[in-house]
Every structure is written in structure tokens, then in C-alpha cells.
Amino acid sequence: MRIVLTALGTVGDVAPMLRIAEALEAGGARTLVFVNPFFEAHARSLGLSVRAVGEPWDPEQIARDPQLYDPSHVFRQVFVPPIEAEFRAIGEALAESPTAGVVSHFWCFGGVLAAEARRVPWAAVSLAPIAWLSVRDPSQIAAFPIPPWILRSVIRWLVRPRTLELYEPHVQRAARALGLPELPNRYWGMQTRAALNVGLWSPSWRAPAADDPTNARIVGFPAVARNVAALVGAPGASDPGARLPPPIESFLREASAEGGAVVMGMGSVPSVSEPLYREAARACVALGRRALLVGASENLDAEFGPTIRTAAAVPYAAVFPRASVVLHHGGVGSMTAGLRAGRPAIAMPFANDQFDNAARLERLGAGIALPQRRALHGGLRAAIARCLASRTMAAKAAAVARKLATEEDGAVVAAREIRLAFDRRPGAP
């Protein structure tokens, strides 16, 4: 069975798709993965068959451009421009050899349009629950919490129609330019016409809902990708068994005798997180706690003294479990690493799915959702103190980690479901 995948976007988008490709290969499928040229070398290092598509795009530009915290800007400026190139490249690949189906990140419409044109089934992969915009299990969509009973109506009558209004014209325009026949509602049609909709998160994080997309399968969080973050320069390298630099190892060992260090990592947005790193250092000094700040600038070490240590890049999976409290931005990769660590966490979201991820963390009782404006005005110190003092929160976080440890790798489950979905299609190769 041959399967084509698209893996475009940021580190957090690309790494899970590459894990699915690896799992498909391990299960006997042949894969061809389309990536942005920025990730080509890494994808090849995994032993995958890879083709680059589109112009090179550095994911750090999202961190440097505040307007890209608006998801509609991300869609228009990051995912829409490569649709035509993606369509043509994948169309050529589908013409070369019999292909069972196309697997696409939810916003990679070029692959889906190519599958549609060639009458090949596709699977849509969503990395976080907000992509499904359920009314039954509503996702938080703003920096401030909205009560669920209000949120249901907001999503049904405002967000879903507004999403269609903002996104649909771009997909329809691309389809017309590519000579495809008229079809209504192509944006949500990526889900409604898919052979499979993969929810790449744990059912204990967000369970199935009655209004989930057709053919939906929630498969679990993917296992840690093989060192993708280190290879592309992100601060949260991923290998849980990696050997830490001796100064970091020594720092954490000394901190463990004092109850453990507060460990902070802001994923793929460290360059705009400096005020939060500084606030975390200030709070930990005031609380008499050591702190390891992954991705912070080195000058914080000198400014705040020996109890504050910075690191350009160390594995979250190796350092989060040794923390007393974990601080992150609520991105799904960092969130997963924090949940698996079994430590109370504080999520300080910037945008997009992070608000919902932070809210779900707090709902689980395993941490705190802290708006950045509050964090920067004394709220972070109070939140850290609360996490350190709460036995209930520590117990909840540990229980979540134990539950996740019993679940199968979500990428492996996704690969199995993808093969089954494509096998069921008439004439599947």
C-alpha cells in the first residue's frame, strides 16, 4: 500500500505528521512525504521518502510577527500560498504510481484538492480538539474564559459561520484556479468528505463528541518524534533519553534536593517570550526556588544569580519530569510533554489552540491556565506558589501521566486506522 502525506507548517505541525509516516512505514506501507524545504533534511534523516514543495519558510517567522497569532492570518499567509504548488506536486506523485490515499494536516488543502481531482480518498489529521469546533464539547477560543453554556452558542451561531466566511473563499479561489469543478463548502468539506478524520490526542484529554466530524477517530497523543526539535533549532529537543549537558544535569540534581526546579520552555516562540522568562526568574527568586529556563537568553543567568539557569536547547521529555512545576505556552507538543511528565503545569497561551489547551489542562485539575497579562503583573509568582503547595494538583498531574503511559502511541493507532480506512475503499491498491 502506497500512501502520500503532507507535512507543512511549524515544528508542532510537521513532527506529528512525520511520526505518522514512520508508523505507516513500520506497518508495511510505502510512504511519500511532502514537506516545506526547511524540514527536508530532517525528514530524510528519518529514512523517509521525501519531496520538498513550496518556498522555504522558517517557522520562527510566526514568533516574530504578532499578527500571525490570529489563526486567519496564519491560514492566509502560511497555508494558502503553497496550495497550488502542493496540488501540482502531489498530483504528479499520484499519477506516477497507484496510491491508496492522501493523509493531510487539516489545513493542507493542496493535498486534499489533488486527491479530489484524482478520485483518491484522503484522511484529515487534526492535532488539537479546536480544529473540530464541536458545539457539544466546545473549545475555548479566547484569552479569557467563556462559560461552556455561552460558548456552545458562540461556536454554533458565530464562530463556525465566521470561520466559513473567512476561510472558504481562499479554498474556493484555489480550486477554481486549478480547474476543479464547483463544490459547496470546501473548507469544512475537508472533514465531511474525508475517509477518515484523525484526532491526534488522548481520549482522556478530549473524548469523542456527538457532533465530531464524520469517520472521526481519536487515537491518542503521538509518541515523541525522533529529535525533530533539536534538528530544526527549536529549544525543546525531544529525546527523553538524551544525555543532558553536565552543568544542567548538576543544576537539576542539586535542585532535586530542594524539591525540584521550576522548568520553563516556550516551545517554538522563545524569541517573543523574554518578558515571561524574566517574570518567571523574578518569581522563582522571590519564592526561593531554582528555575531552568529553556530557550531564554543567557543574560538572565548573570542578572538573577546562580539559582536561575538558562539553556538554549534541552529535551523537554528529559527535564519536565524532574521539575517541581512546568511552565509552557500551551502548544500541543509542549502540553503533551508536560502531561506525560506528571508535574503540575502552568500554561500561558499566546494564540490559536493554546487557549483551549490551557483551559483543558485546568479542567483536568493538573495545572493552571494563566493569561499572559496576569502572569506579567504578579500572577505568575502566585500561580507557581499555588502549584507547589497543592497536593491535589500534584496527585491529579501524576494520575494523568499514569493514564497516558498506558495508552498506545497515537501515531501507531493513526497509521492503523488510516490503512483500514483506505483498505475499505473500492479498488484500493
pLDDT in the model for residue 57: 75
SS3 376: helix
Question: Domain map of the chain by residue range?
Answer: 2-223+409-423, 235-405
Q: Nearest-CA neighbor of 225 among 107, 333, 67, 367? A: 333
Q: How many CB atoms lie within 10 A of CB 53?
A: 23
Are the C-beta atoms of 301 and 271 separated by less than 8 Å? no
| pLDDT tens for each residue of 18-45 | 999 999 999 999 999 999 998 999 999 9
Q: How many CB atoms lie within 10 A of CB 63?
A: 20
The answer to whether residue 164 scores a pLDDT higher than 90 is yes
Are the C-beta atoms of 327 and 264 separated by less than 8 Å? yes
The answer to whether residue 239 scores a pLDDT higher than 70 is no
- Length of the chain in residues, anyone? 429
SS3 61: helix
Distance of CA 69 to the CA centre of its chain: 14
| pLDDT tens for each residue of 341-374 | 999 999 999 888 999 999 999 999 999 999 999 9
State how far the Cα of 117 lies from the Cα of 175, in Å rounded to an integer.
Answer: 10
Residues 6 or more apart whose CB falls under 8 angstroms from that of 214 comprise 191, 192, 194, 197
3-state DSSP helix/strand/coil percent for the chain, to nearest 5?
50, 15, 35
354-370 residues labelled b (16+ CB within 10 A) or e (exposed) = bbbbbbbbbebebbbbb
Are the C-beta atoms of 268 and 59 separated by less than 8 Å? yes
Reported as a pLDDT band with limits 50, 70 and 90, residue 243 is: confident
Are the C-beta atoms of 347 and 370 separated by less than 8 Å? yes
The answer to whether residue 105 scores a pLDDT higher than 60 is yes
Are the C-beta atoms of 274 and 297 separated by less than 8 Å? yes
Give the fold, CATH level 3, of 235-405. Answer: Rossmann fold (3.40.50)
pLDDT in the model for residue 226: 55
Percent of the chain scored above 70 by pLDDT?
A: 91
What letter represents residue 264's amino acid? M
Mean pLDDT in residue range 132-147: 91
pLDDT in the model for residue 163: 94
The answer for 185, left when phi > 0, alpha when psi is -120 to 50, beta otherwise, is left
State how far the Cα of 391 lies from the Cα of 380, in Å rounded to an integer.
Answer: 19
Mean pLDDT of the chain: 90
319-346 residues labelled b (16+ CB within 10 A) or e (exposed) = bbbbbbbbbbbbbbbbbbbbbbbbbbbb
* Same fold: 2-223+409-423 with 235-405: yes
pLDDT in the model for residue 59: 66
State how far the Cα of 80 lies from the Cα of 107, in Å rounded to an integer.
Answer: 9
Q: Output the CA angle 15-106-216, nearest 5 degrees.
A: 105
CATH, domain 2-223+409-423, list 3.30.420.40, 3.40.50.620, 3.40.50.970, 3.40.50.2000: 3.40.50.2000
pLDDT in the model for residue 232: 47
pLDDT in the model for residue 228: 52
Q: Nearest-CA neighbor of 128 among 417, 364, 331, 316? A: 331
Mean pLDDT in residue range 258-279: 85
SS3 125: strand
Reported as a pLDDT band with limits 50, 70 and 90, residue 231 is: very low
| pLDDT tens for each residue of 400-425 | 999 999 999 999 999 999 999 998 76
Distance of CA 323 to the CA centre of its chain: 22
Q: 418 exposed, middle or buried (CB, 10 Å; 0-12, 13-18, 19+)?
A: buried
